[in-house]
Amino acid sequence: MRPLDELLERAAVLHGHLCPGQPLGVRMAIVGCRELGIEDPESAKRLVVYVEIDRCASDAIQAATGCQLGRRTLKHIDYGKMAATFLDTKTGRAVRVVALEESREQAWAYAPEAHDKDEAQRLAYARMPDQALFSVRDVRLTPPVEDLPGHPRGRVRCALCGEGINDGRQVERDGEALCRACAFGAYYKEVTA
């Protein structure tokens, strides 16, 4: 992987600033890739990352690995946890990296020169040993083929709204294919004039 400073710079550019989540996410990516034996995730093209939070660290993981939502190599599982699972699609091996809660309180010990909590965490997360910062566990993932990178594996049209649905995301009801918005209710409400 690229040097930590370079990855932090990339993360700050992508995210818009350098906050405590940036070194945390970059370090998570480094640990996950190292555990899988992937030295250069961008050129290896075999890494899929499942991030469990939609916060700063997710941008840092994207910057460090090159995984992207639009390339189907970055997945968001909304658990609200500072954790990510790294899957090597070539070997099938996966590791889940979780930021330890204790690291927040230990930040001052690793950055005594800091002026506030955010600065202490930002500096400490770049300095702390991996074992003080993360829990790393081997996990098993069996993603459906429709979730893997590549071209869409199928497309159908919703019987109610007529919109296209990719990759098996339709719901079968009474013999008809429905989009999830029509089947379960949408997160949006259309405005009528």
The reported pLDDT for the residue numbered 139 is: 98
User: How much is the pTM?
Assistant: 0.88
- Between 106 and 149, name the one with better pLDDT: 106
Q: Where are the domains of the chain?
A: 4-146, 151-184
The answer to whether residues 32 and 71 touch, using CB atoms and an 8 Å cutoff, is no
The reported pLDDT for the residue numbered 144 is: 85
The reported pLDDT for the residue numbered 24 is: 95
pLDDT band (50, 70, 90) for residue 148: confident
The reported pLDDT for the residue numbered 131 is: 96
The reported pLDDT for the residue numbered 44 is: 83
d(CA 143, CA 28) in angstroms, rounded, equals: 21
pLDDT band (50, 70, 90) for residue 193: confident
CATH level 2 (architecture), domain 4-146 = 2-Layer Sandwich (3.30)
- How buried is residue 183: exposed, middle or buried, by Cβ count under 10 Å (0-12/13-18/19+)? middle
Give me the mean pLDDT over the 101-129 stretch. Answer: 94
Tell me if domain 4-146 and domain 151-184 are identical in fold. no
Q: Is the pLDDT of residue 90 over 90?
A: yes
CATH level 2 (architecture), domain 151-184 = 2-Layer Sandwich (3.30)
